[in-house]
Amino acid sequence: MPHVTARTRLIGFALSGIGAMLFAIKGILIKLIYRYGIDTTSLLAMRMLLAVPVFAAVGAQQWWRMKPAARPNARTIALAAAVGILGYYVSSWLDFAGLQTLDAQIERLILFTYPFFVILFGRLLLGHPFRAHALGGAGLSYLGLVVMFAGTPARLNPDVLIGAALVFTAAVSFALYQLFARELIQRCGAALFTAIAMSSAGLVAIGAFALSHSTDTLAAPREAWGLIVALAVFSTIVPAFLMSAGTARIGAQGTAIVSSLSPVVTIAIAVAVLGEKFGWPEAVGTLCVLGGVGLFSLVESRSRPVATA
C-alpha cells in the first residue's frame, strides 16, 4: 500500500531527524563537562548509571507485553547485546576520548562520514551493491577534513591528530553498528532492541569504570552533574529510541541521509557556546563534507527510492 509506505517513511525521517539533532549536542555537553576535570571512562560510566535503569525498565516492559512466541531467542538477544556494546560503548568511548583534544565541530564532521563505511561494509560483509558515487562523495568529504586541518597548522599536533584518529575509528565502529542493527531491530522491535543494546553497553561501561577507578571519582561538582544528566537524557536516552525507531522504518542509509542535520547544529552551537573558531578552513571544510555526503545521499535516494539496507 503506497500511502502507508510513504507515511511510514515520513515518520521514520522525522524520528531520525529529531534524534540526529539531539545527538548533535552531545559533543558540546561533553566538552563542557571536561572542563570539570572528569575523564572519559568516568564520564561514560556516569552517563550510563543514569541511562541504564531507564533502558532496563523499558526493556522489561516490552518483554512482558510481547507474546511468548514473538519474543526473540537467546541468540538474537546476545547479538543485540554485542551490537549495542559495539555502537554504544566502543564507539562512544572512542568518540568521548577524541573530544578531549578535538573541537566539537570537527568531531561531528568526522563522525558524519560514517555513511560511507555503511556502504563499504555493506558491500564487503553483506554483498550489498557498491556504487561509484560513494567514492566521489567520500573523496570530497575527506578533502574537506584535510582542508580544515591544513588550513589551521595549530591542529597538526600529535594530540589533535590522535583525537581525530579516535573519532575516525568511532565512525567506523558506528557504521558497523548501523549496518547490523536493522535486522535485529526487526526481530526484537525498536524499543526492545534499544533497551538490550544500551543496557549491555551501559553495564560494560560501568564495569570498566569499577575495575579502573575509585567511587570517589563520582563526586563531581553539582554543575557538572547537571550537564551529565542532560547528556544522559537528551543525548542518550531520547535520541537512542528515536534513531532506532527511525532506522526500523527507513533503514541505515535513510538514517544516514537525514543525519545531515547534525553537523550544522553542532557547528552553530560550538561557535556560540564554546567559542570555537570558524574561519575559512572551517567553512570550506564543512561545505566539502556536507557536499560529499549530500551528493552521495542525493544519488543514493534517487537510485534507491525504498531503503533496504
Q: Which three cell numbers stand for residue 205?
A: 561501561
Q: Are 251 and 309 in contact (CB under 8 A)?
A: yes
b/e for 215-241, b at 16 or more Cβ within 10 A?
eebeebeeebbebbebbbbebbbbbbb
Mean pLDDT lowest for which of 94-103, 224-233, 260-269?
260-269
Provide the pLDDT for residue 304.
47
The predicted model gives 2-8 an average pLDDT of 62
Q: Residue holding cell 570539570?
A: 36
pLDDT value at 129 more than 80 = no
Task: Report d(CA 267, CA 147) in Å as an integer.
Answer: 16
Closest CA to 263 of 236, 234, 294: 294
Mean pLDDT computed over every residue of the chain: 86
- Cα-Cα end-to-end distance for the chain: 20
Residue 58's pLDDT is 92
Mean pLDDT across the stretch 198-216? 94
- C-alpha cell, 123: 558491500
Nearest to 145 by CA among 257, 11, 290: 290
pLDDT over 70 at 268, yes or no: yes
Give the max Cα distance, the chain.
60
More confident residue, 141 or 30: 30
Helix, strand, coil % in the chain, rounded to nearest 5: 85, 0, 15
DSSP state of 155: G
DSSP state of 38: -
Quick check: 153 pLDDT over 50?
Answer: yes
pLDDT computed for residue 291 by the predictor? 84
What is the amino acid identity at position 220? A
Give residue 234's pLDDT band: very low, low, confident or very high (50, 70, 90): very high
> In sequence order, which residues have a C-beta less than 8 Å from that of residue 39 and are 6 or more positions away?
217
Quickly state the pLDDT bin for 305 (edges 50, 70, 90).
very low
pLDDT, mean of residues 257-275: 85
What span, in angstroms and rounded, lies between the C-alpha atoms of 193 and 133? 32
The confidence score (pLDDT) of residue 230 equals 95
Query: What is residue 252's predicted lDDT score, i.e. its pLDDT?
Result: 62
**What is the pLDDT, as a whole number, of residue 17?**
84
| Residue 300: half-sphere exposure toward Cβ, Cα within 13 Å | 31
Count of other CB atoms within 10 angstroms of residue 210? 11
Lowest mean pLDDT among 1-15, 105-119, 182-196: 1-15
Confidence of residue 253 (pLDDT cuts 50, 70, 90): low
**Distance (Å, whole) CA 173 – CA 95:** 10
The neighbour count for residue 146, using CB atoms within 10 Å, is: 12
**Does residue 254 contact residue 182 with C-beta atoms inside 8 Å?**
no
Query: For position 130, what pLDDT does the model report?
Result: 67
